[in-house]
Chain A
Amino acid sequence: MAHAHTVSAAPRKGFWAVLKDWLTTVDHKKIAILYLLGGTIFFAVGGIEALLIRYQLMFPEFDAIPAQTFNELITMHGTTMIFFVAMPLVFAFMNAVLPLQIGARDVAFPFVNALGFWLFFLGGLLLNISWLFQSVPDAGWTAYVPLSGPDYGSFGVNFYVMGLQISGIGSLIGAINFIVTVVTMRAPGMTFMRMPLFVWTSFITSALILFAFPAITVGLVLLMFDRLFGANFFDVTQGGNVVLWQHLFWIFGHPEVYILILPAFGIISEVVSTFSSKRLFGYSSMVFATVLIGFLGFMVWAHHMFTTGMGGIANALFAVATMLIAIPTGIKVFNWIFTLWGGKIRFTAANLFAAGFIPTFVMGGVTGVMLAVAPANFQFHDSYFVVAHFHYVIVGGIVMALFAGCFYWWPKMFGRLLDEKLGKWTFWTFYPGFHLTFFIQHFLGLQGMPRRVFTYLDGQGWNTGNLVSTIGSFLMAVGVIIFLVNVFKTAAKPAGAPQDPWDGRTLEWTIPSPVPEYNFKQLPVVRGLDAWWVEKSEGRKEMTPAEPLGPIHMPSPTILPLLMSIALFIAAFGFMYANQPFDNGFIRFLFEKYVIAIAGLVMFFGCMIARSLKDDPGYHIHPEELEGEGVHQ
């Protein structure tokens, strides 16, 4: 049932209409904002967890937070930050920017895209709701067995097992969506080697997600079977093997960190290039390096397991493979520096963060090479040296890039520019605060401070370092607060950002800010790398269209993705609480007989069947509804 759709100057909608719009959207631009919002909410949760951790560690033998709660805090902090902050924020930018940069009107699978978001959100909700149930996972974000298993683990680990399975499905299908989008939906003239680097990194990242997530899904399923159904995968008394979990986890876990960092590399490439007013130095080798990093990323997982006793051959192989990744990574760093070199660099807030990324990420990278030296790793592993290393690459790397991406693409997403001054204040509090927090931790680790410790004894020489680290963390919090103030202040401003505020080089800057529902009135012809720059350098004011004006087909909104995610959320509870001794007989019956669990699964598969049976005709936006200007016949 196609119907005409008004695009311009829509009447102001009521609250419920707006809510319905956001809950049923399949528009990648709105989904991007949902990911941004979800990621930010979880960032606040994870950030508070971090501050509590640092607070407890401020003084030796401090008794602010008991050991059990502390173990819950570190588990939730790590799990939330990696799965429910970094990943969704990366997906936010991929959704907001990728289709625009390839000159596409939409992604390949809008429904799947929306489903991916809601699965992520409900998964994150399930994990964090454990706080309300006072049954919080406490075995670390790595959940090693048997500590996370049925014999020694707490009930809270179930929230981890279920929450991550649900959100993992979301990540997987989201990745499939982006792979197909990049392969089939590029504008005419955009060959693979004319794609912006952010598209390349998103593409490779999606391939990594596709191959890495099934491994952890299997691991979580096995753990779930052990915990809930009496299986023996990790029960050594029944022939199980505890190291198996580690292999499955890290075969996912290592590519996961490249999944996080590659899009960050893409953002940095875009920002540095734009604000130097220079094309990216060494584009082909940047692409090649990205592919190589992605590929090698699957060959090194056991460098997280050097101390498990795999033997000399395994340790040597994984050590050397790990060191090799430094080479393509180094290539990228030099290419960024030489993009800046000879340019006319503008230090907007976005570029401050991008520039700050470079030395910080290099520091994190070199400690990574140090960690790769297997026998040295026997000293570093599970100490604060590792904590320092990964925070340098994740916070000093990914978070810095995410901030850069925010300042860079905010006008395109929201039609408003974030305040530059507040942005600089954010940088000058967050960045020094970050170094203050984590630099000293390298030395704490070398002095023998293990990680995941709720306290430390006096007289070991660790007091000052921990105090300094805690002070730094509060400075970082100030930076984040300033950023949030900036966001709210900007939201209150009227929209009206220019189409191309940064003198950009890529296609997203050829369309209005914010982007209209249909992205491109007419798909553009791409004549080279940095497609917009090519046109601008020949004096053109707009892209050449590749097609005449015509009706634009849009997919229909649908409530099914939200319903399917809620269904799995319910099913998860049904399985988790199946053997709980409820007082109320009826409730006990519902759970014991798996009524709730099955109801959730029936709802999930029912929605899938409904989706299969009813084909979506979508609706059309007609040329008469599009603004008059810039229309070519």
Chain B
Amino acid sequence: MKRWYKAGRTALILAVAALLMAGCSGALDPQGERAKEQYFLIVLSFAIMALVMIVVFALFFIAIIRFRKRKGDTGYPEQVAGNHKLEIIWTVIPFTLILILAIFTVTYTFKHDEVIAADEAVNVQVTAHQFWWEFNYADYGIRTAQDLVLPENSWVNVDLTSADVIHSFWIPQLTGKTDTNPGLTKTVAFKTGDHGVYQGKCAELCGEGHALMDFKVVVLTEDEFNAWVASMQEPAPAPTTPAAVAGEEVFGNYCISCHAVTSDKMSLGPNLKGFADRETVGGFRENNDTWLREWIIDPQEVKPGATMPAFGDALTEEELNNLIEYIRTLK
């Protein structure tokens, strides 16, 4: 009996410690309305299940502690075939609990499948690629990538699709995930929270770079968002310093075939208009010159599986510096 008690106590300590270590983040720290409702469902289902677990565990531990065979105990216990009353109780009560949960589930299932009227939301067309995220705002004529810029506390419709394999669009603090399927488009809606930067993740195995296919959701105030839209619609100011001008030429020789620098053009790779203001390099590294340099020299070293070719051998040190200086003008 002592052993069981010790085991149970250890387990409890571990559980509590784990809980404390976990902290609250991601889905457990919802900031957008959809995520908040999903959090409610998580807590509700957990509470109901916790109730079940308490009853089951209590019965179980009592049974295995109280009915152990004692030393010298001979003879056999009563061979009980069953108990109709009990069997009915433990069918009806679980059924009732499931019914309660089902009602909430069905309600929110339909609710979370609703999309918002196009004129009452920000509409973004999301195309997932191996291993980066393309965001187009057809309403504004803007094409961008990796940072999903949105106004705060607003509804957003995302039309989700993929250019290659199945990926999945997930912003834990704002909304649950939806898969991006090639050949199909699914529209889902979610509401942003207060201004801030939220983490986005790819949530479907898509190849080598899956683990690092992050994106950022940059939620701005209404005014900031409008300013962003306006500045995206204009081309970046022309480079002024000699290094940047030289860098623009390097860009023209090596990069322009895949990367557009004005937000109205399509390109094979991420549109780089506004790159200088983005949160990350490659979707997950801090946007500074060190990482930018590493990325251009050898993208696969930074992000395994990246489909951008390596330019470390093609560019001289001077060309690389100029290029970076130019890229820093892409505001």
Residues of A within 8 A of B (CB): 66-68, 71, 139-140, 144-147, 151-152, 236-237, 240-243, 276-279, 281-285, 307-309, 311-312, 315-316, 319-320, 323-324, 326-327, 330-331, 333-334, 337-338, 340-347, 355, 358-359, 362-363, 366-367, 369-370, 372-379, 381-383, 432, 435-436, 439-440, 443-444, 446-457, 460-461, 464-465, 468
Q: Are A455 and B211 in contact (CB under 8 A)?
A: yes
Instruction: Indicate which residue in B15, B165, B186, B284 contacts A309 across the interface (CB closer than 8 Å).
Output: B186
Return the chain B residue nearest A464 by Cβ: B21
Known: A378-B38, A378-B175. A147 touches B105 (CB 8 A): no
Instruction: Indicate which residue in B82, B94, B170 contacts A327 across the interface (CB closer than 8 Å).
Output: B94
16 A–B pairs (Cβ distance < 8 Å), ordered by A: A276-B77, A285-B82, A323-B101, A323-B105, A359-B56, A374-B109, A375-B109, A382-B203, A382-B204, A439-B14, A439-B18, A447-B23, A448-B172, A450-B201, A465-B22, A468-B21
Q: Are A362 and B38 in contact (CB under 8 A)?
A: no
Q: Are B178 and A307 in contact (CB under 8 A)?
A: yes
Interface segment, one of B67-75, B220-228, B239-247, B321-329: B67-75
Q: Are A376 and B41 in contact (CB under 8 A)?
A: yes
List of A residues within 8 angstroms of B284 by Cβ: 457
Known: A66-B304, A71-B208, A242-B166. A277 touches B98 (CB 8 A): no
Alpha-carbon distance A450/B163, docked complex (angstroms): 21
Alpha-carbon distance A456/B284, docked complex (angstroms): 11
0 or 1 for each of B135-156: is its CB under 8 Å from A? (1 = yes): 0000000000000000000000
Known: A68-B304, A285-B82. A379 touches B101 (CB 8 A): no
Known: A375-B105, A376-B42, A378-B177. A326 touches B166 (CB 8 A): no
Task: Tell yes or no: B209 within 8 A of A by CB.
Answer: yes
Q: Are B28 and A144 in contact (CB under 8 A)?
A: no
Q: Are A456 and B211 in contact (CB under 8 A)?
A: yes
Task: Tell yes or no: B35 within 8 A of A by CB.
Answer: yes
Q: Are B177 and A379 in contact (CB under 8 A)?
A: yes
Q: Are A327 and B91 in contact (CB under 8 A)?
A: yes
List of A residues within 8 angstroms of B206 by Cβ: 147
Task: Tell yes or no: B308 within 8 A of A by CB.
Answer: no
0 or 1 for each of B48-61: is its CB under 8 Å from A? (1 = yes): 11101100110110
Q: B254: shortest Cβ distance to chain A, in Å?
A: 26
Instruction: Indicate which residue in A324, A370, A448, A453 contacts B26 across the interface (CB closer than 8 Å).
Output: A448
Given contacts A373-B105, A448-B173, A460-B25, 6 further A-B contacts (CB under 8 A): A278-B78, A278-B80, A330-B90, A379-B42, A381-B176, A448-B25
Task: Tell yes or no: B210 within 8 A of A by CB.
Answer: yes
Instruction: Indicate which residue in A71, A309, A377 contacts B184 across the interface (CB closer than 8 Å).
Output: A309
Known: A344-B67, A370-B42. A375 touches B176 (CB 8 A): yes
Q: Are A283 and B81 in contact (CB under 8 A)?
A: yes
Q: Are A315 and B109 in contact (CB under 8 A)?
A: yes
The 5 closest A-B CB pairs, nearest first, are A378-B176, A236-B183, A448-B26, A309-B186, A453-B211
Task: Tell yes or no: B117 within 8 A of A by CB.
Answer: no
List of B residues within 8 angstroms of A452 by Cβ: 205, 210-211
Q: Are B105 and A152 in contact (CB under 8 A)?
A: no
List of A residues within 8 angstroms of B69 by Cβ: 277, 344-346
Q: Are B26 and A446 in contact (CB under 8 A)?
A: yes
Return the chain A residue nearest B52 by Cβ: A366
List of A residues within 8 angstroms of B90 by Cβ: 330-331, 334
List of B residues within 8 angstroms of A345 by Cβ: 63-64, 67-69
Q: Are B205 and A147 in contact (CB under 8 A)?
A: yes
Instruction: Indicate which residue in B38, B80, B208 contacts A68 across the interface (CB closer than 8 Å).
Output: B208
Task: Tell yes or no: B168 within 8 A of A by CB.
Answer: yes
Q: A572: shortest Cβ distance to chain B, in Å?
A: 25
Alpha-carbon distance A588/B56, docked complex (angstroms): 63
Return the chain A residue nearest B303 by Cβ: A67
Q: Are B109 and A316 in contact (CB under 8 A)?
A: yes
Task: Tell yes or no: B267 within 8 A of A by CB.
Answer: no
Q: Are A284 and B67 in contact (CB under 8 A)?
A: no
Alpha-carbon distance A457/B284, docked complex (angstroms): 9
Known: A278-B79, A375-B37. A381 touches B101 (CB 8 A): no
Task: Tell yes or no: B83 within 8 A of A by CB.
Answer: yes
List of B residues within 8 angstroms of A343 by Cβ: 67, 77
List of B residues within 8 angstroms of A242 by Cβ: 166, 181-184
0 or 1 for each of B86-100: is its CB under 8 Å from A? (1 = yes): 110011001100100
Q: B10: shortest Cβ distance to chain A, in Å?
A: 7
List of B residues within 8 angstroms of A347 by Cβ: 68
Instruction: Indicate which residue in B98, B202, B209 contacts A323 across the interface (CB closer than 8 Å).
Output: B98
Task: Tell yes or no: B45 within 8 A of A by CB.
Answer: yes
Q: Are B205 and A370 in contact (CB under 8 A)?
A: no
Task: Tell yes or no: B113 within 8 A of A by CB.
Answer: yes
Return the chain A residue nearest B25 by Cβ: A447
Q: Are A450 and B202 in contact (CB under 8 A)?
A: yes
